[in-house]
Amino acid sequence: MDIEKLEKYLGEIGEKSFRIKQIRKAVFVDGISSFEEISTLSKELRKKLDENFKILSFSAENILEAKDGQSVKALLELSDGNFLETVLISPKPGDWSVCVSTQVGCAMGCRFCATGKMGFKRNLTAEEITDQVLFWRQYLNGIKNLKFKIKNCDISNVVYMGMGEPFNNWKEVSESIRILTNKDLFAFGSRSISVSTSGIAEGIEKLASEFPQVNLAISLHFANDKKRDEFMPVNKKDNLESLKIALQKYFQKTKRKVFVEYILLEDANDTKEDAQELARYLKSIGNTHLLHVNLIGYNTTSGDFRSSSGNRTHKFKEYLLLGGINATIRKSLGEEIKGACGQLATR
């Protein structure tokens, strides 16, 4: 929703300034899906707005709900015919997180990721990014499906973990964070927002200086340059040493916790040596009390990789704890609808 354009239009047709407040609340807080629903506006104004403006910059092509009611994925068609995917996740009842995409496809080419296999098509605009949150707000407001057992229809978190590398589209991503945290619009707290990167050092420094209260997650997956080069091409530009320096600067500036995402791939990065190497690397960064490793099962996107067994996953966590590193085994939501980490690919 391009609210500035709408505000300008209201001025041009001579509407009073309090109208914009009513419209902002209806769109961003109440999650209306058509101006017709704003009963505080005159019929004539509602008609004019519906004729001249669209609340969302895309249309929903398909919506897939997981049977357990904990995740929903939407395929959205943009005005230029490109598609993107966005996911709504409920880690616990009444707690909803939106996972937003920042690009159509991704140029980073991580070998285990379905989005990476699509290649890069284009950057999303700040409006297209924030509209994904509006879309899910409208969805939750309109839902009648009891299997979701919704007690509280509000969205508590926004995570930049969908399609694309957020730091490759920083101009629009940073603008989208400003819109999400704007008190007159979405009014999210900065700490309710998380940005996940495959490891772009310059981006980490920008996040620390522009949004020190926004959470940072690093998709690390390998703590060995040779392996990381092989599976995550970003490492050829920003290797583990550059990432370490960026994180040290990040801690100096923010003193905030960083989440280290680690997908466990059978025989590729899940041995005792891999765990010990990861613990050594994280310790070399310093501030280990501010580093938390999330161990994530791999969601099959092709026949190239397999997820580590439960036994290996538990052992990996134990080795990390023995090495003095905090770690949690995360349940990956959305695998059934291919809406989990690394599975978004506009299928």
Task: Tell me how far, at minimum, the Cβ of 190 lies from ligand SF4, in Å.
Answer: 22
Catalytic site includes residue 110 = no
- CA distances (Å), origin 118, targets 2, 66, 94, 95, 345: 29, 24, 34, 31, 7
DSSP of 277-336:
HHHHHHHHHS-GGGEEEEEEEPPPSSTT--BPPHHHHHHHHHHHHHTT-EEEEEPPP-TT
Q: Is 341 a catalytic residue?
A: yes
The answer to whether 214 and 177 have CB atoms below 8 angstroms apart is: yes
- Which one of 78, 342, 343, 346 is in contact with ligand SF4 (CB under 6 A)? 342
Using the rule CB under 6 A, is 76 a contact of ligand SF4? no
Which positions from 256 through 315 interact with ligand SF4, judged by CB under 6 A? none
Cα separation, 198 vs 221, whole angstroms? 9
Q: In terms of CB distance, is 31 or 116 closer to ligand SF4? A: 116
Q: Which stretch binds ligand SF4 (CB under 6 A): 48-56, 105-113, 286-294, 308-316?
A: 105-113
- Of 103 and 138, the one with the shorter C-beta distance to ligand SF4 is 103
**CA 249/CA 244 separation, integer angstroms:** 9
> Closest separation between CB of residue 114 and ligand SF4, Å?
8
- In the region spanning residues 113 to 142, those forming contacts with ligand SF4, defined by CB under 6 A, are 113, 115-116
Q: Which is nearer to ligand SF4, 31 or 105 (CB)?
A: 105
Site for ligand SF4 in 212-241 (CB under 6 A): 219
Give the nearest distance from C-beta 87 to ligand SF4 in angstroms. 13
Answer for which of 99, 108, 216, 279 binds ligand SF4 (CB under 6 A) is 108
Distance of closest approach, residue 159 Cβ to ligand SF4, in angstroms: 12
In the numeric block, the tokens 């690394």 are attached to: 342
Residue nearest to ligand SF4 (CB): 116
Helix, strand, or coil (residue 206): helix
Which x/- pattern, by CB under 6 A, does the window 172-201 give for ligand SF4? --------------------------x---
Query: Angle at Cα 18 formed by Cα 137 and Cα 175, nearest 5°?
Result: 50
C-alpha of 32 from chain center: 23
* Torsion sign across C-alpha atoms 309, 315, 317, 320: negative
**Contact status: 165 vs ligand SF4 (CB under 6 A):** yes
Decide: 15 and 21 in contact? Cβ < 8 Å. Answer: no
User: Residues with catalytic annotation?
Assistant: 85, 341
Residues at the interface with ligand SF4 (CB under 6 A): 106, 108-110, 113, 115-116, 163-165, 198, 219, 342
